[in-house]
């Protein structure tokens, strides 16, 4: 076991040393944003330069390496089905071995982002903040008007009156909403079903029956009772009503942003948001807030801490457009997975029910947004909680994706797969393809990961840290009589316990 551990350590050390050689041409010619208070060191400027290059120049022509003899021939046709180019002409046929580095997203578009893998204590947080400041989302990305799709399935309203989609706001009185009369047998069955459902549920969710208000509008809010002097807002797609305060919607005169319920936001086009979503372990969430306040001058960045649907209720997706950074934790992301509708995976899938859906639960707003940037801090944790978080992270659409970790490799190089799965880098986010890459030619593997990983170690940048010289002093102490008596008693006790266990 010890031999395996040493082998893996040597393997990871060799991996990072080779990756470092690919980045020797990166310079530190970087103009630091004025709002950033600390002066970046040279290795930090090089890291930010590389990150900006990965985000801005990610669509440049990919480097291709050919092993080919030079012949002056007329090329008839070419094919690359099996990793070989075959040039055909009437005179000569050449078989050419080649390999190339292909860094693309799962949909085939150029991949933007990577893995920031500086060792702990070298300032990855400041580097990411500088990247956020240096490459913000352009106005044309996040200032687009929100358009509402045509309603996919109109609600079943047993009344000739249907609310106009141009009127989304109505006021209700203090009295409870009138419910539709039902037979006693059906009411008993519904109550029984409600009790069974509550016993089977593993996550408590707020729910309410789909009621009819005085004007026969369908009310499908998430609250348990009607708030006093509440304002009803109606979804522009399905026409269902909800209380404005329950869905954090503020009606305004000449409302430009239409109101959509959480189910219809999923069916609508994603909102393009300028914010960077940063997912961190709960233990360092406050540390991130302190780091931003410490390193960014006033007025600074607008930061929002998202605590999830379970804690804060439903937040309108467009509300995130007002912020530069949205912070949340892995626990929140995992819990929000319980609030992701099946319709998100297959929007065209609609169930045919005799009656309309009885219980209405809020959906997570995070998958309804196309973020400018998504970043996972301590990205190696995704391997440990892969079953939960990986179920959510593919739904986090963004232009740029980053993973920050000081220890991307803990056991073996295969630990990188969990991060590639989050990054959705094709084709190696597929396990079979990833294993083929790791077992194949090392040169190809190094070339590929050099496009994705930036690594600085204490050993490599020690001269840039300007740390004071360490001095070592030894002071020999002797036990007092009481300390010596206690120590030898403990020594004899431990030796006796060890002997008993060893002789069994």
DSSP state letter for 29: -
Mark whether 245 and 324 lie in a shared domain.
no
Q: Is residue 211 part of a domain?
A: no
Domain count along the chain: 2
Mark whether 439 and 333 lie in a shared domain.
yes
Mark whether 333 and 456 lie in a shared domain.
yes
Mark whether 422 and 455 lie in a shared domain.
yes
Question: Residue 413: which of 7, 3, 106, 2 has the closest Cα?
Answer: 7
Mark whether 403 and 301 lie in a shared domain.
yes
Mark whether 101 and 130 lie in a shared domain.
yes
Q: Which domain holds residue 241?
A: 221-260
* Length in residues, the chain: 504
Mark whether 441 and 393 lie in a shared domain.
yes
End-to-end Cα distance, the chain: 23
Question: Residue 268: which of 150, 167, 145 has the closest Cα?
Answer: 150
Q: Is residue 190 part of a domain?
A: no
Q: Is residue 366 part of a domain?
A: yes
Q: Is residue 129 part of a domain?
A: yes
| CA 122 from centre of chain | 23
Question: Residue 452: which of 477, 476, 434 has the closest Cα?
Answer: 434
**Who contacts 42 (Cβ-Cβ below 8 Å, separation ≥6)?**
28, 461, 464
Q: Is residue 156 part of a domain?
A: no
Q: Is residue 170 part of a domain?
A: no
pLDDT tens, position by position, for the chain (504 residues)? Answer: 333 344 466 778 888 888 888 888 888 888 888 889 999 999 999 999 999 999 988 765 444 333 333 333 343 434 443 344 444 444 444 444 444 556 777 666 678 889 999 988 898 999 999 999 999 999 888 887 777 765 444 333 333 333 333 334 444 444 443 333 445 566 666 665 555 544 444 434 444 344 444 444 567 777 766 666 678 888 888 878 888 878 878 777 766 778 888 888 888 888 899 999 999 999 999 999 999 999 998 888 899 999 988 888 888 888 898 899 999 998 888 888 777 765 555 444 444 444 455 556 788 888 889 999 999 998 767 665 555 566 666 678 899 999 998 888 888 888 888 888 888 887 888 888 888 888 888 888 888 888 889 998 888 888 888 888 888 999 999 999 999 999 999 999 999 999 999 887
Handedness of CA 176, 178, 184, 186 (dihedral sign): negative
- In the listed set 240, 260, 280, which residue is the last one of a domain according to the structure? 260
Mark whether 229 and 111 lie in a shared domain.
no
CA R_g for the chain: 30
Q: Is residue 122 part of a domain?
A: yes
Alpha-helical (H) ranges within 350-457 are 381-384, 386-389, 416-423, 431-439, 442-450
Mark whether 299 and 419 lie in a shared domain.
yes
- In the listed set 229, 260, 291, which residue is the last one of a domain according to the structure? 260
Burial 382-417 (b: 16+ CB within 10 A, else e): bbeeeebbeebbeebbbbbbbbbbbebbeeebebbb
| CA 28 from centre of chain | 29
Instruction: Evaluate whether 454 touches 117 at the Cβ level (below 8 Å).
Output: yes
What CATH number is given to the structural domain containing 59?
3.40.50.10810
Q: Is residue 488 part of a domain?
A: no
Mark whether 239 and 302 lie in a shared domain.
no
Mark whether 317 and 456 lie in a shared domain.
yes
Mark whether 11 and 133 lie in a shared domain.
yes
263, burial (CB in 10 Å: exposed 0-12, middle 13-18, buried 19+): buried
Which pTM value belongs to this model?
A: 0.71
């Amino acid at each position: 076991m010890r031999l395996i551990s040493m082998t893996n350590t040597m393997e990871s050390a060799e991996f990072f040393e080779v990756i470092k050689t690919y980045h020797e041409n990166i310079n530190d010619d970087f103009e630091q944003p004025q709002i950033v208070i600390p002066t970046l060191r040279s290795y930090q400027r090089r890291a930010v330069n590389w990150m900006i290059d990965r985000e801005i120049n990610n669509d440049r022509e990919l480097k291709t390496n050919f092993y080919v003899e030079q012949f002056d021939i007329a090329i008839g046709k070419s094919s690359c089905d099996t990793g070989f180019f075959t040039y055909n002409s009437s005179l000569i046929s050449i078989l050419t071995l080649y390999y190339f580095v292909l860094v693309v997203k799962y949909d085939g578009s150029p991949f933007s982002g990577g893995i920031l893998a500086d060792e702990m204590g070298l300032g990855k947080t400041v580097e990411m903040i500088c990247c956020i400041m240096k490459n913000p989302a352009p106005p044309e990305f996040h200032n687009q008007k929100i358009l509402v799709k045509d309603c996919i399935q109109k609600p079943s309203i047993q009344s000739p009156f249907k609310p106009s989609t141009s009127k989304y706001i109505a006021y209700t009185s203090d009295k409870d909403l009138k419910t539709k009369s039902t037979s006693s047998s059906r009411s008993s069955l519904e109550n029984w079903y409600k009790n069974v459902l509550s016993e089977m549920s593993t996550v408590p969710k707020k729910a309410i029956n789909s009621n009819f208000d005085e004007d026969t509008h369908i009310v499908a809010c998430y609250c348990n009772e009607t708030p006093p002097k509440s304002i009803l807002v109606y979804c522009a797609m399905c026409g269902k009503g909800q209380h404005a305060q329950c869905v954090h919607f503020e009606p305004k005169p000449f409302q430009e942003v239409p109101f959509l319920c959480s189910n219809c936001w999923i069916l609508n086009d994603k909102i393009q948001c300028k914010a960077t979503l940063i997912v961190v372990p709960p233990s360092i969430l406050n540390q991130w807030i302190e780091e931003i306040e410490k390193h960014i001058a006033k007025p600074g960045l607008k930061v929002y801490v998202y605590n999830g649907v379970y804690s804060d209720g439903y937040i309108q997706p467009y509300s995130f457009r007002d912020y530069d950074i949205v912070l949340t934790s892995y626990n929140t992301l995992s819990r929000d997975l319980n609030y992701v509708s099946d319709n998100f995976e297959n929007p065209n899938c609609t169930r045919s029910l005799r009656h309309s859906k009885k219980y209405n639960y809020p959906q997570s707003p995070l998958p309804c947004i196309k973020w400018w940037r998504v970043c996972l801090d301590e990205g190696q944790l995704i391997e440990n909680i892969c079953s939960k978080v990986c179920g959510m992270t593919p739904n986090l659409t963004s232009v740029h994706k980053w993973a920050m970790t000081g220890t991307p490799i803990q056991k073996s190089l295969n630990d990188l797969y969990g991060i590639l799965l989050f990054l959705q880098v094709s084709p190696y986010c597929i396990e079979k393809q990833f294993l083929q890459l790791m077992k194949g030619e090392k040169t190809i593997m190094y070339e590929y990961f050099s496009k994705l990983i930036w690594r600085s170690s204490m050993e490599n940048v020690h001269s840039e840290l300007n740390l004071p010289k360490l001095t070592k002093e030894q002071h020999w102490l002797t036990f007092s009589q009481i300390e010596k008596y206690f120590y030898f008693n403990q020594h004899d006790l431990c030796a006796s316990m060890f002997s008993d266990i060893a002789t069994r």
